[in-house]
Amino acid sequence: MAAGASRVAVTEKAAAMLRELREEHGPLMFHQSGGCCDGSSPMCFAQGDFLTGDADVLLGQIEPGTPEPVDVWMSREQFALWKHTHLTIDLVPGRGAGFSLESPNGVRFLIRSRLLTDEEDAALHGTDTPDVRAQVLP
């Protein structure tokens, strides 16, 4: 796999919120929602509060400065549509999705997406669970 190839990243602003949430809730995870009621938002949960299974794909792990990496999941069905996309988890003011941990803080996590470069796509082709760590973006 090409060095630096990943499907997911996190901004420093989002990483700072994840460090705060980690202090309060323990280890964390994300599940990228498929739309409908929660509007395709990345949902942040305490690890184990959202059960993943065969219908889910591990996109990667982000390292926001917490003691352990944060897994980022998506439904396999949604991944089939987004497999050529790189996702960046950002943080913006506003109301978050009801069950996502950041909601009471007046902020919400937001996905910013871009197409993978040809090099990234080739490096990640055919990998539902890439063994790469995501980077923190400024």
pLDDT in tens, 83-133: 999 999 999 999 866 789 999 999 999 999 999 999 998 888 755 444 334
In a domain, 28, yes or no: yes
Measure Cα distances from 107 to 40, 50, 132 in Å: 16, 21, 28
In a domain, 1, yes or no: no
Given a contact cutoff of 8 angstroms between Cβ atoms, the answer to whether 89 and 72 are in contact is yes
In a domain, 3, yes or no: no
What φ, ψ does residue 33 adopt, rounded to 5°? Answer: -65, 150
Q: Can you give the pLDDT at residue 1?
A: 37
Higher-pLDDT residue of 40 and 47 is: 47
126 Rama class: left (phi>0) / alpha (psi -120 to 50) / beta: left
Q: Can you give the pLDDT at residue 35?
A: 59
Range of the domain at 63: 8-33+40-137
pLDDT tens readout for residues 109-119: 999 999 999 99
Q: Can you give the pLDDT at residue 131?
A: 39
Total domains, the chain = 1
